[in-house]
Amino acid sequence: MSNTAESAAKRPLRVAIVGAGPAGVYAADILTKSNEVKDGDFEVSIDLFEAYPAPYGLIRYGVAPDHPRIKGIVNALHKVLDRGDIRFLGNVTYGRDLTLHDFRAFYDAVIFSTGAIKDADMDIPGIDLEGSFGAADFVSWYDGHPDVPREWPLDAKEIAVIGNGNVALDVARMLVKHADELLVTEIPDNVYQGLKNSPVTDVHVFGRRGPAQVKFTPLELRELSHARDVDIVLYPEDFEFDEASDDAIRSNNQTKTMVNTMTNWLVEEHAEAEQPSSRRLHLHFLHSPVKIYGSDGDDGGSGKVAGIKFERMQLDGTGNVKGTGEFIDYPVQAVYRAIGYHGSALDELEYDAKRGVIPNDGGRVLDADGNPVPGIYTTGWIKRGPVGLIGHTKGDALETIGCLLEDRLTLPPAQNPDPEAIIDLLEERGIEYTTWEGWNKLNAHEAALGASWTESAAFDGVVRERIKVVPREDMIEISRG
Residue-wise pLDDT for 314-371, tens only, equals: 999 998 999 999 999 999 999 999 998 899 999 999 999 999 999 999 999 999 999 9
Q: Taking 50 as the threshold, does the pLDDT of residue 1 lie above it?
A: no
pLDDT tens track for 48-104? 999 999 999 989 999 899 987 777 889 999 999 999 999 999 999 999 999 999 999
Residues 6+ apart with CB under 8 A from 445: 469, 478
Query: Pairing mode, if any, of strands 279-284 and 202-206?
Result: parallel
Per-residue confidence at 141, pLDDT binned at 50, 70, 90? Answer: very high
Q: Is the pLDDT of residue 217 over 90?
A: no
In angstroms, rounded to a whole number, what is the distance separating the alpha carbons of residues 141 and 341?
A: 16
Helices (H), 179-274: 189-196, 218-224, 243-251, 253-268
Half-sphere exposure of 173 (CA within 13 A, CB side): 25
Core vs surface per residue 12-22: b (16+ CB within 10 A) or e: ebbbbbbbbbb
Query: Which of 204-218, 221-235, 280-294, 457-471 is least confident?
Result: 457-471
| Gyration radius from the chain CA atoms | 24
pTM of the model: 0.93
Could you give the CA distance from residue 40 to residue 76 in angstroms, rounded to a whole number? 25
Write down the pLDDT at residue 3.
47
pLDDT tens per residue, range 278-302: 999 999 999 999 999 998 765 555 6
For residues 197-212, average pLDDT: 97
Q: Which of 216, 208, 220, 209 is nearest to 173 (CA)?
A: 220
The confidence band for 2, taking pLDDT boundaries of 50, 70 and 90, is: very low
